[in-house]
A and B are shown apart, each in its own frame.
Chain A
Amino acid sequence: MLTILMTMLDSEEERRYFRWLYQISREEMERTAMRILENQALAEDAVQNACCQIIRNFDMVLRVPEERRKFWCVTVAKNEAIALRRKSREHLSLDEIGDIGAVPEDTSGYEALVEVFARLPETYRATLEQYFLLELTPEEIAQRLNLTPAAVRMRISRGRKLLQELIRKEGLYS
């Protein structure tokens, strides 16, 4: 295990970069974990788990455009917090089961597109983040979110379809 880890942050330059990235992301990671968990000890666990993931997957960090790396780190913390919270629940609440819904009528431009995704039900958004940003498999996501792999694949498919519909509606990127 240690041998594998050593390849993740194997130069002083990468370690320095990680430290800088942590410093600029720390506050937002902590705030996000606390907002989701509302419990100090669990939020600390979520932040520490997230840091582990960031270190272990540092090659993934470097593939993210530089100006968005901070928010990739926040995404990791957010999803660690969601995973911790969901593991403590036996049942999903109804608002989390809710469908993705129809494409809203009042979208306009890229910002509105972002807004639509920001408002997605939690499990939809977490599924998309874990698949597209954290590069987890549907099986891994299913385990973390207490869903079936089929439900995860359905959410990924619907997320793509939603984006397609929004782009078509807005005439973006044609």
Chain B
Amino acid sequence: MTDREMDRLLRRVLLDAVQQDSAQPSGPDFAPSRRHQRQMRAMLRDPTRWVARRGRPVSLVLLQRAAMFALVTVLSLASVVSAVPSARAAMIRWAEEWAETFVIFRHSGDDDNHTVADYEITELPTGFYEEEREHLDDAMVMVSYTDGNGNYIDFTYARMTQGGATGIDWDESEDTMTEVTVKHMKGGLWKSSEEDGNDTLTWIDSKNDIQFTIVDFNRKSIDVLHMAESVKLVKTPN
């Protein structure tokens, strides 16, 4: 048997071993979130476009979720981090890391274990309503707004605690970033130049140690900065 035939056989054996895995006991049930279902629908509608656009909200989930594990996807990006203008200071609980296609806000500081409060966007584009509010854990909440016609605005906020992070994918060739303030709080606005792109606005409330992010897939009628200004506390934790 030649090396080439041997490698072909090995490929077949490996695939058949994967098939055999299906007989293994299952783990917990896979119960897809609405967000995942939405992503999959978009993928099936236009796979190529979905790949090109995917990343922004998913990365937010991934990086913040990593707080529940020891540490973090961002470590794998260390090799591509081109500049690290650290914003860390004694009173600041985050550090920005800029990679070629990624900005990461790494959180630090003690976790006081209190549940993050409920916030909402009070000025939404006409016809939009809150579809889903998901408390991923005590430190992070994701809210989806929709107009019922497949247009979405995602609002995410997370208490800044050790090991947590929020990531924003961006493409220098397509996106522009502008420093902004939201109610006197420091933030950044990433705007896509693509017609069907989205805008991402993140800002940090240092007083309450919370990072807010809005991803606007709609970009109609109300500017994302205006929506951010309208964010209000609606319920304090028990």
Q: A residues within 8 Å of B by Cβ?
A: 1-2, 5-6, 8-10, 15, 18-19, 22, 28, 30-45, 47-48, 51-52, 55-56, 64-65, 68, 71-72, 74-75, 78, 84, 87-90, 113-115, 117-118, 125, 128-129, 132-133, 143, 159-160, 163-164, 167, 173-174
A40 surroundings in chain B (CB, below 8 A): 28, 30-31, 33
* Distance of B33 from chain A, by nearest CB (Å): 7
- A164–B51 CA distance with the chains assembled, in angstroms: 40
Residue of A nearest to B69 (CB): A88
Q: Known interface pairs A34-B29, A38-B28, A71-B15. Does A55 touch B51 (Cβ–Cβ under 8 Å)?
A: yes
B36 surroundings in chain A (CB, below 8 A): 44, 47-48
19 contacts between A and B (CB under 8 A): A1-B171, A8-B48, A9-B48, A22-B43, A28-B22, A33-B30, A34-B26, A34-B28, A34-B30, A39-B65, A45-B65, A52-B51, A114-B16, A128-B10, A132-B11, A133-B14, A133-B15, A163-B6, A163-B10
Assess whether B65 is in contact with A41, with CB atoms less than 8 Å apart.
yes
* Distance of A92 from chain B, by nearest CB (Å): 13
- A129–B13 CA distance with the chains assembled, in angstroms: 10
Confirm or deny: B238 has a beta carbon within 8 angstroms of a beta carbon on chain A.
no
* Distance of B2 from chain A, by nearest CB (Å): 11
Residue of B nearest to A42 (CB): B65
Main secondary structure of the interface of A (DSSP, over half): helix
* Distance of B91 from chain A, by nearest CB (Å): 29
Residues of chain B from 3 to 59 with CB closer than 8 A to chain A in the complex: 5-7, 9-22, 24, 26-33, 35-36, 39-40, 43-44, 46-48, 50-52, 54, 58
- A55–B51 CA distance with the chains assembled, in angstroms: 8
Assess whether A163 is in contact with B33, with CB atoms less than 8 Å apart.
no
* Distance of B44 from chain A, by nearest CB (Å): 5
Total interface residues on B, using CB and 8 Å? 55
A51 surroundings in chain B (CB, below 8 A): 40, 43, 47
Complex partner residue of B21 from A32, A52, A159, A164, CB under 8 angstroms:
A32
Q: B residues within 8 Å of A by Cβ?
A: 1, 5-7, 9-22, 24, 26-33, 35-36, 39-40, 43-44, 46-48, 50-52, 54, 58, 61-62, 65-66, 68-73, 75-76, 136, 171
Q: Which of A68, A89, A115 has the most CB of B within 10 A?
A: A68
Q: Which 3 A-B pairs have the closest CB atoms?
A: A88-B69, A35-B27, A118-B17
Complex partner residue of A159 from B10, B19, B20, B40, CB under 8 angstroms:
B10
13 more contacts with CB within 8 A, not counting A115-B20, A117-B14, are: A1-B52, A19-B44, A34-B28, A34-B30, A35-B26, A36-B27, A43-B30, A55-B48, A87-B76, A88-B72, A90-B71, A118-B20, A128-B14
Residue of A nearest to B35 (CB): A44
* Distance of A102 from chain B, by nearest CB (Å): 18
Residue of B nearest to A27 (CB): B30
Assess whether A173 is in contact with B30, with CB atoms less than 8 Å apart.
no
- A6–B48 CA distance with the chains assembled, in angstroms: 6
Assess whether A87 is in contact with B75, with CB atoms less than 8 Å apart.
yes
A90 surroundings in chain B (CB, below 8 A): 70-71
Assess whether B19 is in contact with A71, with CB atoms less than 8 Å apart.
yes
B7 surroundings in chain A (CB, below 8 A): 132, 160
Q: Known interface pairs A43-B30, A90-B71. Does A5 touch B76 (Cβ–Cβ under 8 Å)?
A: no
* Distance of B214 from chain A, by nearest CB (Å): 20
A48 surroundings in chain B (CB, below 8 A): 36, 39-40, 43, 54, 58
* Distance of B119 from chain A, by nearest CB (Å): 20
A68 surroundings in chain B (CB, below 8 A): 12, 15-16, 19
- A87–B26 CA distance with the chains assembled, in angstroms: 23
* Distance of B100 from chain A, by nearest CB (Å): 12
